[in-house]
Each structure stands twice: as C-alpha cells, then as structure tokens.
Structure 1
Amino acid sequence: MKVQYFEDTDTLYIEFQGREISETRDLDENTILDLDSEGNVCAITFEHASKRTDVNHLQVDGIAA
C-alpha cells in the first residue's frame, strides 16, 4: 500500500494494490477510482485533498508483518 500527497496539485493518491489499471471511474468531480480487470479497487485519488481530508496527519494501525 502506498500513500502519496502532491502538494503542488493538492492531490492525495492511495494505492491499495500495484496491479495494472483497466478502468478508471469518477466517483464525483474530485474523486477517481482505479480498478483492475477483475473489478478490484487498486487506487483512489482525491483532488483538493487538503479541503477534503486531514493530509497533515497520517495514522497507520494494524500493519501486517
């Protein structure tokens, strides 16, 4: 899993799986969902992230070994 914040575009990108993206869906005008060929969610992108999320605070719980 990878979380990236791009300050210059105020975009938050969360990648759940590094699979090849076969479809991209707009959930709303500022949220994009990437799916693989089986319909599994691979990544989600939040535009205007600082207004929609708390990009200054990241908390990770329950990391698998």
Structure 2
Amino acid sequence: MKIKYFADTDTLYIELKAMEIIETKDLDDNTLIDIDIEGNICAITLEHAQERTDVLNFSFEQVVA
C-alpha cells in the first residue's frame, strides 16, 4: 500500500494494491477509483485533498487484536 500526496495539485493518491488497472471510474467530480481485472478497487484518487481530508496530519497505526 502506498499513499502519495501531490502538493502542487492538492491530489491524494492511495494505492491499495499494485495491480494492472483496467478501468477508472468517477465516484464524483473529485474522486476516481481504479479497478483491476477482477473488479477489485486498486487505488483511489482524491482531488482537493486538503479540503476533503486531514492529509497533512496523516498517521499510520497497526492494531493487533
């Protein structure tokens, strides 16, 4: 999983799994979803990320149950 933030365009790209993308769907005007051949979501692109997320305060936490 990779998360990239492009400050120049205020775009957040979240790659869930590195797979060949066969289709990109518009979820709304500012959200794209990349789909693999099996119909799984591989990545999500969010435009205007600072308005829509707390991207500048990103943290990661792994919780073991």
Q: TM-score, normalised by structure 1?
A: 0.93
- Answer 1 or 2: which has greater helix percent: 2
State, as a whole percentage, how many aligned pairs show the same letter. 58
**What pairs with 1:18-29 in structure 2 (closer than 5 Å)?**
18-29=18-29
> Equivalent residue of 1:38, what SS?
coil
- The answer to which of 13-22 and 51-60 deviates more is 51-60
- Structure 1 distance, partners of 2:33, 2:58, is 21
Q: Which runs of 5+ in 1 are unaligned?
A: none
- The answer to which of 55-64 and 19-28 deviates more is 55-64
Q: Give the deviation of 1:19 after TM superposition.
A: 0.2
Q: Which runs of 4+ in 1 moved over 6 A?
A: none
Letter in 1 for 2:4: Q
> Equivalent residue of 2:56, what SS?
coil
Please give the root-mean-square deviation of Cα atoms over the aligned residues, in Å: 1.4
> Equivalent residue of 2:27, what SS?
strand
Q: Does 1:4 align with 2:4?
A: yes
Partner of 2:53: 53
Shift in CA distance, 63/9, structure 1 to aligned 2, threshold 3 Å: farther
